[in-house]
Amino acid sequence: MLYDVIVVGSGISGLYAALYARRAGLNVALICKSNPLRSNSAVASGGINAVLKTTRQDSIREHISDTLKGADKLGRFSSVSAMVAGAEEIINELQAMGVVFDTTDEGTIAQRPFGGTKASRTCYIADKTGASITQTLLVQCRKEGVNILQNHVMLSIATYKDQLSGITLLRRRDSQVIAFACKSLILAGGGYAGIYRGHSTNSQESSGDVIAIALRAKMRLSNMEFVQFHPTTLANSGTLISEAARGEGAYIVDESGERFTDELLTRDKLSRDIVKHQLSGHSVYLDFRHLGEELIDKKLPSARKHALNGAGIDILNELLPITPSAHYTMGGIWVRDNTSTDIPNVFACGECAYSGVHGANRLGGNSLLEAAYFGRLAGIEASRAAKKGEFHPIDYALVDKESRYVEAILEGENRFNINTMRRNLGNNLYKNAGVFRTHDTLANALEYVHYLMKMSSGLCCVNKERSDNVELISKVIFHRIGGIGYVSFFMRKCAVNLYY
């Protein structure tokens, strides 16, 4: 198949990119591993930041300042400024597409405070903001003619004389390796916090496989050491309890009901406070009891649902046990301000990209804004490049190589349990590359990653079926992710926000 633009990833960034490439009159394909609504964007609950004309006691300058301060001055000023300046336009456009934000009694968009901000600038739809935006964009993409190709897993970038020619993919319905040609490629495949298995708010699909593909294509990565831990997740499962809870007034307390920190600190500082309190022998909880049933059911329905389903606790009258979990990755594929990468006509956006807006720590509410703003920009830039570009031949030796690789996993003898390996990796990373880390603990993490990668050669399929073989997909991805980024941990000696 030939497409003008291929987008890999179906979160907000990928959907926005595909939509804008399609609006340029091009033939666009959106590639996703499974259901397009199974992205991290769809479960992002808190909100999206923007300084609106109706926002009180706030300004674009303050939003820029808060973002750069939260980033510990490692943010890229040009990217931050452009994103913040474009935020209101994004909100207006989402409204025009059908996103219904919560409103005040005066009929203006309601905004709540989030950690690290000086004002209430987070627009929201109860605590289901990401799902609402994702669903709206998906409907719009389908309406405008984007080709949505579910159940395809990207394997590699194909080039011809250092020019993009297309991508190779594993087609799930028959386990065949195929190739698509394209003039422009947009990578929007998400981050890698899911590799902290058992200690992450992400699904295991958030493995960083697209970032690993970029690395193998000799594209630069940046700031891979910065992993954000969300301070409030269910203690027994890592299920996210949105920052919206604290924005609406929930307290963080210990077993005595005593508050010991500022609930609206930035996530890095709050996670450290919680872990320190736990290490001193305390349990930590979220306390919603003073908020009342009306507010909780109107503004925090998902929090109540997750607490009931995940812990059997009704937050109306019980404390909810919490702990920090890996949530978001700051680093990724290095991009210029216009989302272009080291390979001509290849662009990256969203969590898989290092756009520079988050620096060493992301503020709550800025990720959905980044996804929308830079996704749209990537769609615009990729379509411009595609209109000027041409198709290049695909080297089918690469397709043959990938086919033999997949066949080896499918037909080989399995020696290890992938679920055990994933859990062990997650436990090791959480212990050694978690909220607190030292050179020695990072060395232990890297040594364990190398050990697992050697063992992964013995990961083959027990299930030999070729039709929608979930085991095959899992093992192909696990083989591929390797130790991306962990060497970069050793390149930063100082304590900086998420690297402490």
DSSP-assigned beta bridge partners for residue 109: 103
Q: Same domain, yes or no, for 190 and 318?
A: no
* Angle separating helix axes 439-455 and 418-432, nearest 10 degrees: 170
**pLDDT at residue number 304:** 96
**pLDDT at residue number 486:** 53
188, part of any domain: yes
Q: Same domain, yes or no, for 342 and 487?
A: no
Q: Give the β-pairing of 227-234 and 251-254.
A: unpaired
**pLDDT at residue number 167:** 99
89, part of any domain: yes
67, part of any domain: yes
Residue 75: other Cβ atoms inside 10 A? 24
**pLDDT at residue number 109:** 97
Residue 176: other Cβ atoms inside 10 A? 13
Contact 57, 119 (CB under 8 A): yes
CATH number of the domain at 77, please.
3.50.50.60
| Pairwise CA distance, residues 29 & 214, whole Å | 19
Structure tokens of 436?
Answer: 């607190």
402, part of any domain: yes
Phi, psi of 55 (to 5 degrees): -70, 130
Q: Same domain, yes or no, for 12 and 142?
A: yes
Structure tokens of 98?
Answer: 């059908």
3, part of any domain: yes
State how far the alpha carbon of 183 is from the alpha carbons of 4, 151, 285, 392, in Å: 5, 22, 51, 8
**pLDDT at residue number 205:** 77
Tally of domains in the chain? 3
51, part of any domain: yes
Amino acid, single-letter form, for residue 188: A
Catalytic residues: 272
**pLDDT at residue number 450:** 85
Q: Is the dihedral of CA 84, 86, 89, 95 positive or negative?
A: negative
Largest CA distance in the chain: 67
Q: Give the β-pairing of 251-254 and 111-113.
A: unpaired
Nearest to 43 by CA among 31, 51, 33, 35: 35
* Beta strand ranges found along 200-300 (DSSP E): 221-222, 227-234, 251-254, 284-287
* Cα distance between the two ends of the chain: 47
Q: Same domain, yes or no, for 9 and 128?
A: yes
| Pairwise CA distance, residues 350 & 333, whole Å | 10
Contact 134, 15 (CB under 8 A): yes
Structure tokens of 250?
Answer: 């929930």
Q: Which of 285, 305, 324 is the last residue of a domain?
A: 324
Q: Same domain, yes or no, for 144 and 274?
A: no
Contact 387, 24 (CB under 8 A): yes
Q: Same domain, yes or no, for 266 and 172?
A: no
CATH number of the domain at 294, please.
3.90.700.10
State how far the alpha carbon of 259 is from the alpha carbons of 237, 315, 320, in Å: 23, 17, 14
**SS3 of 347, please?**
strand
Q: Same domain, yes or no, for 387 and 436?
A: no
- Could you state, in chain order, the average pLDDT of each consecutive group of 10 residues for the chain (500 residues)? 98 99 99 93 92 93 96 94 98 98 96 91 94 98 98 97 97 97 98 93 87 94 92 92 93 97 94 97 98 95 94 97 96 97 98 96 96 99 98 96 96 93 93 91 88 88 94 90 58 56
Q: Same domain, yes or no, for 31 and 116?
A: yes
DSSP-assigned beta bridge partners for residue 259: 253
Structure tokens of 206?
Answer: 């958030």
Residue 132: other Cβ atoms inside 10 A? 19
Q: Which of 394, 422, 440 is the last residue of a domain?
A: 394
| Pairwise CA distance, residues 82 & 87, whole Å | 9
Q: Same domain, yes or no, for 134 and 238?
A: no
CATH number of the domain at 427, please.
1.20.58.100
Q: Which residues form the domain of 310?
A: 232-324
| Pairwise CA distance, residues 234 & 113, whole Å | 22
Q: Which of 324, 345, 377 is the last residue of a domain?
A: 324
37, part of any domain: yes
**Whole-structure pTM value:** 0.95
Q: Same domain, yes or no, for 172 and 208?
A: yes
Q: Same domain, yes or no, for 140 and 57?
A: yes
496, part of any domain: no
Q: Same domain, yes or no, for 288 and 357?
A: no
Structure tokens of 275?
Answer: 């872990």
Phi, psi of 180 (to 5 degrees): -120, 135
